[in-house]
Amino acid sequence: MTPPLLSANGLCKTFRSGAREVVALADVSLTLQRGETLGLVGASGSGKSTLARVLTRLIAPDVGEVSFFGDNWLSLKGADLRGKRRNMQMVFQDSLAAFNPRATVASVIEDPLRIHGIVESRPRPMEIARLLQRVELSPALASRSILDLSGGQRQRVAIARALATRPALIILDEAVSALDVSARAKILALLANLQREFGIAYIFVSHDLAVVRVIAHRVAVMEQGAIVETGPATQIVENPQSSAARALVAAVPRLHIPADLSQP
């Protein structure tokens, strides 16, 4: 059997503020295959965003292990970590807060190309234009300020920035929740097309099971810091077993999806 692209085992994380303790992750384990989309769902405060940040090493777990590309991901340091980090990227919910407000579209996409030494300086404008076209934006936007873009356009730029490092995995944390229904459906279609073309794996974090059902192959349901149910997306939606999954199914809104966006 092919080893997973990513695996996590026994992740725990507790946040402390004075005498108050909040268990954000409680013995979380999961696997992700190459080219697969895992939907990570749960109510607010269930631990899904904390898990995403632990996996991307934005915060450290108290205990637990993560393997990525066969490496002990949590033990990498210095140049080894910088060299491997390009393979895992993240797209955040707030596309405005994710960027320097004084940045241009070109500078946002150029940064990872420069930092990771992916493209030399002279051909970078061509690569920036290619990445913008790949996320269905006009290369003419390269000189525009990030502040001049719509929310949907900024999220496409965020995806282009993530694609710039040619990653094997992109973690999307509520990446479409701030968009209107039309923009949301277009971003989901774009992500599906990119996965088919490049074989990228996604961890798609959301509280919205309707969105996750469209994009995910498998779903992991979180409650109080633990994964309480996993299974194929259709199975979770049609036959939820946990109380957390049943509550999410009951709250499912209707999402219009273009006819050309098929279930993964």
Decide if 130 is inside a domain. yes
Residue type for position 170: I
Does some domain include residue 1?
Answer: no
Task: Tell me the average pLDDT across 249-262.
Answer: 56
**pLDDT value at residue 263:** 47
162 within domain boundaries: yes
d(CA 209, CA 159): 21
Report if residue 160 sits inside a domain: yes
Count: domains in the chain: 1
Residue at 124 is within a domain: yes
φ, ψ of residue 133 in degrees (nearest 5):
-65, -35
pLDDT band of residue 258 (cuts 50, 70, 90) is very low
3 state SS for the chain: CCCCCEEEEEEEEEEEECCEEEEEEEEEEEEECCCCEEEEEECCCCCHHHHHHHHCCCCCCCEEEEEECCEEHHHCCHHHHHHHHCCEEEECCCCCCCCCCCCEHHHHHHHHHHHCCCCCCCCHHHHHHHHHHHCCCCHHHHHCEHHHCCHHHHHHHHHHHHHHCCCCEEEEECCCCCCCHHHHHHHHHHHHHHHHHHCCEEEEEECCHHHHHHHCCEEEEEECCEEEEEEEHHHHHHCCCCHHHHHHHHCCCCCCCCCCCCCC
Does a structural domain hold residue 150? yes
Report residue 256's pLDDT band, with 50, 70 and 90 as the boundaries: very low
pLDDT of residue 253: 58
The domain containing residue 109 runs over which residues? 100-166
Burial degree of 7 (CB within 10 A; 0-12, 13-18, 19+): middle
Q: Is residue 7 part of a domain?
A: no
Q: What is the pLDDT of residue 262?
A: 45
The pLDDT value given to residue 181: 81
In a domain, 134, yes or no: yes
pLDDT score of 142 more than 50: yes
Stretch among 151-160, 212-221, 223-232, 244-253 having the lowest mean pLDDT = 244-253
